[in-house]
Amino acid sequence: MNNKNPLIIVALILTLGVIVSSVIVTKGFVQVKANKNSLTVKGSAKKQIKSDFVVWNGSFSVQSSDLSSAYSKIKEDELKVKNYLINAGIKEDDIVLSSISTSTYNKILPNGTYTNEIESYKLYQTVEIRSSDVDKITNISREATDLINSGVEFSSNGPQYFYTKLADLKIEMIELATKDAKLRAEKLLQISNNTPGQLLSARVGVFQITPLYSNEISDYGINDTSSLEKEITAVVSCEFEVK
On whether both 57 and 134 belong to a single domain, the answer is yes
On whether both 81 and 151 belong to a single domain, the answer is yes
- Mean pLDDT for the chain? 87
Give the residue numbers spanning the domain of 136.
53-162
Model confidence at 3: pLDDT above 60: no
On whether both 68 and 43 belong to a single domain, the answer is no
On whether both 132 and 88 belong to a single domain, the answer is yes
On whether both 130 and 203 belong to a single domain, the answer is no
Q: How confident is the model at residue 215 (pLDDT cuts 50, 70, 90)?
A: confident
Model confidence at 38: pLDDT above 60: yes
Mean pLDDT of 208-233: 93
Q: Does residue 189 contact residue 18 with C-beta atoms inside 8 Å?
A: no
Identify residue 226 by its one-letter amino acid code. S
On whether both 101 and 177 belong to a single domain, the answer is no
- pLDDT tens, 102-112? 999 999 999 98
On whether both 109 and 194 belong to a single domain, the answer is no
pLDDT in the model for residue 219: 85
Q: How many CB atoms lie within 10 A of CB 164?
A: 11
On whether both 57 and 147 belong to a single domain, the answer is yes
Predicted structure pTM score = 0.77
Mean pLDDT of 211-218: 89
Mean pLDDT of 83-100: 96
Q: How far apart are CA 204 and CA 236, in angstroms?
A: 5
Q: Which of 111, 129, 162 corresponds to the end of one domain?
A: 162
On whether both 69 and 148 belong to a single domain, the answer is yes
Mean pLDDT of 40-67: 97
**CATH assignment at residue 33:** 3.30.110.170
Q: Which of 27, 26, 16, 23 is nearest to 40 (CA)?
A: 23
Q: Which of 131, 162, 193 corresponds to the end of one domain?
A: 162
Q: Does residue 239 contact residue 201 with C-beta atoms inside 8 Å?
A: yes
On whether both 80 and 158 belong to a single domain, the answer is yes
Q: How far apart are CA 121 and CA 70, in angstroms?
A: 7
% of the chain surpassing 90 pLDDT: 77
pLDDT in the model for residue 224: 96
Q: How far apart are CA 154 and CA 149, in angstroms?
A: 10
pLDDT in the model for residue 33: 53
What letter would DSSP give residue 91? Answer: -
**CA 197 to centroid of chain Cα atoms:** 36
Domain count, the chain: 2
**CATH assignment at residue 72:** 3.30.70.2970
